[in-house]
Structure formats: structure tokens, C-alpha cells
Amino acid sequence: MRILHILDHSIPLHSGYTFRTAAILREQRKLGWETFHLTSPKQENCTVLEEDVDGLHFYRTPPAKGFMASKPVLSEIALIQATAHRLEEVAKQVRPDVLHAHSPVLNAIPALQVGQKLGIPVVYEVRAFWEDAAVDHGTSKEWGLRYRATRGLETYALKRVQAVTTICEGLRGDIVARGIPADKVTVIPNAVDIEKFQVGAQPDPALQARLGLQGKTVLGFIGSFYAYEGLNVLLDALPLMLRENPDIRLLLTGGGHQETALKQQAQQLGISEQIVFTGRVPNADVPQYYDLVDVLVYPRLPMRLTELVTPLKPLEAMAQGRLVAASDVGGHRELIQPNVTGVLFRADDAADLAKVVLDLAAHPERWPAMKSAGRHYVETERNWANSVSRYQHIYPALLNGKRR
């Protein structure tokens, strides 16, 4: 089995998108499949046509050029054309059995074009919808003209590919509601590489001292600072929690679009001394930072993106045997069993966040069972070997002509 993946970016990058990509590619190789990898013009600093990254060989697509490449809307058409041209070159060279396009739809359309031309079936993997991500980034208004046009393009691709995979039940339900046959859509859930996370490790004293966290109750967030993550709500809740427990500290590890705004908010609230911004850390060092935290807090805001999409980070926290507190958006409810594998608070409600987290922190007798249940959940259900094994029922069926 030869699979040609069409992606926006190669690894390593600090995002769930690329962590998931790396896991899928490596698990597919363990199954004995040959995988090939093409990145679109979105790959940054692309100066070569082929490149090895972290043991994987990537074919690159040069940036689109000319008049269209510099104009809104037209630039996206130019990107599709450039990707399709390069994809056809690579497909003729490696002769894949299946084209596997990873969202957004700007990768699915070229795959459809080349797949139809060369007679290769196409799988489209949906991790989130492009139109919803654009709302969070401020480049589109929900249900506005651009939003509806993008949604229409996604639906167009979903109807024409031979199989659809997605990361969670929320997205599967949305896809089926667009008129896509249910038996055409398979959930390949987010998961973790369980071997990389160890339960029971003690905090590194030197790192703990360097960050000023010795003897403190540490709340933490490890990930990208996007607006939809709701970290501003967590900062609003911190003064309320400090009134009850002055020894609380907040560890924010990562970075992103909201970092400057969060630091300004911390200054305005007078809590800068109680917050540690570490910046991004190497992926191999992330478990050390998990070990510093008593409660991982994920305050995602309520919106279509967070209601439909399950994140990776709470699973990583469970794998590390850490406590998880999260907002009650749909993506979190799909992962967390309340008061068993974690606790939930009302989304976009700083007072309820403070109340729930303080209650959890004040009852350490609850911690061992909750940590054990979270770890058991990822060990038995949310590991990459289990998730990726589901492709064994998709790819062969395409080659046998059993899928639409």
C-alpha cells in the first residue's frame, strides 16, 4: 500500500496539526505501508523541491507566483493550482495507491483534480473546518458571505472524495448533516504516543526553583495561545482564586497570537508576579513542564470550532497522570468524563472556573483516582496505534471499489 499525503506543513511545528500528522505517518509505516509526503506552498521558507525532516522525506511545492498570488481570493486559487501541478508531478513519480489530503479544503481540491485525472482514489481528512478557523482569526464573519462560500467549497469536496476521515464525533455529525453518507465518514480520533508520557515523575527541583514554583499550587496551560483557547478567562479567574489561596501560581507554556495581549491583561489585573510565561519549549522537554503542574486548565471559549473539535492537550495531560479542568464545550465533553477523568466548568465564566478549580485543588484525596482514570482512558482508547489502525478498513476498501 502506497499512500501520498498532501499537507500544509511538515513537522516539526508547535501545533496539534503537525503532532497528529507525525503520529499518523509513523504509525502507518509500522503497519508496513509506504508513505509519501507533499507540502503545499503554505510550507514556510520553502527553497528546495525535496527535503528530509525528522526521518520523513517531504516533497515541496514552490510558492505560487504572478499576479494572482498577491491578490485576495485569487491567491487561494493560485495556491490550489500550484499544489495540483506539483502533486501531479509527484504522483506520477511515486505511483501511490491512495491520495490522502489533510484539511483544509485547499489541499482536498488539488487531490480531487489529480485523483480524477490519474485514476487514484482520494481520502479527505477533516481536522477542523477552514471557515470556522477563519472566524477565530478575524478574517471571516460567522455565516457571512466568505464563510458561506468556504463552507460550500468544503461540502463540494466532501461529496466528491471517495472517503472522509475526521478527528471526532462532533465533526462527523456536522459532515453527515451536510448530506454526506454516514458510511463514508470514519472517525480517526486524536490520541497520544503513550510511551512518551510517564506517570508519577517528580518535578525537576532545578526547573521548579528557576521558575519560582517551589511550595506553590501550580495551575498550568501548555499549548498555543489562540483566542479560542480562552486564556483571558483563566487570567480573569486568577484574582478570585488568589483571594482563597495566595500560593497559587499560573504556568503558561507555549506562545502564539494572544501572548502580548495576555501579558498586558496580567499587568492590568495586577497578577504578573503570579504568572510564569515560559515561551515555547522543545517538544522533548514538555513532560518536565507537565510535572510542575497540579491542575492543567483548558478554558476554551464556546464557538463552533470548540464545540465540534476535540483538542490534543487534555489527552497529553491525562497520559502524564495530571489533573484536568476544562470548559464544558463540546470538544471537551467528548474527551472528559466529569468527576472521573477530569472536571468541567461553564465556558466563558471566570467565577465558575475559579470555583471548580479551587474545589479540586482543595480535595487532594480525589486526585489519585482521577489521575488513574485519565491515564487508563488514554492507554486503552486514545493511543495512536488504536486510532491509526482504523485506516486498515478504509484504504483497502477504496482499492477494492467498495467505497463511494
CA quadruple 203, 20, 188, 226: dihedral sign: positive
Neighbours of 205 (CB within 10 A): 9
Q: What pLDDT sits at residue 110? A: 97
Do 300 and 311 contact (CB within 8 A), yes or no? Answer: yes
Residue 404 predicted with pLDDT over 50:
no
Q: What pLDDT sits at residue 138? A: 57
User: Distance between CA 301 and CA 328 in Å, rounded?
Assistant: 9
Nine cell digits for residue 386: 488504536
Write down the H helix ranges in 178-309.
205-210, 231-244, 259-269, 286-290, 304-308
Neighbours of 204 (CB within 10 A): 15
pLDDT tens, 30-72?
Answer: 899 999 999 999 887 778 899 888 778 899 999 877 767 767 6
Q: What pLDDT sits at residue 137? A: 60
Residue 139 predicted with pLDDT over 70:
no
Q: What CATH number does the domain located at 194-382 have?
A: 3.40.50.2000
Q: What pLDDT sits at residue 134? A: 61
Same fold, 2-191+384-401 and 194-382: yes
Average pLDDT (254-280) is 95
Burial class for 76, CB neighbours closer than 10 Å (0-12, 13-18, 19+)? buried
Residue 85 predicted with pLDDT over 80:
yes
In the chain, the amino acid numbered 390 is: R
**Cβ neighbours of residue 127 closer than 8 Å, sequence gap 6 or more:** 17, 20, 102, 103, 166, 167, 171, 309
Which residue ranges make up each domain of the chain?
2-191+384-401, 194-382
Kindly report the CA angle at 303 between 297 and 305, in degrees rounded to 5?
Answer: 85
CATH class of 2-191+384-401: alpha beta
**148-151, long-range: CB < 8 A, 24+ apart:** 150/105
Q: What pLDDT sits at residue 322? A: 93
Burial class for 373, CB neighbours closer than 10 Å (0-12, 13-18, 19+)? middle
17 pLDDT band (50/70/90 cuts)? low
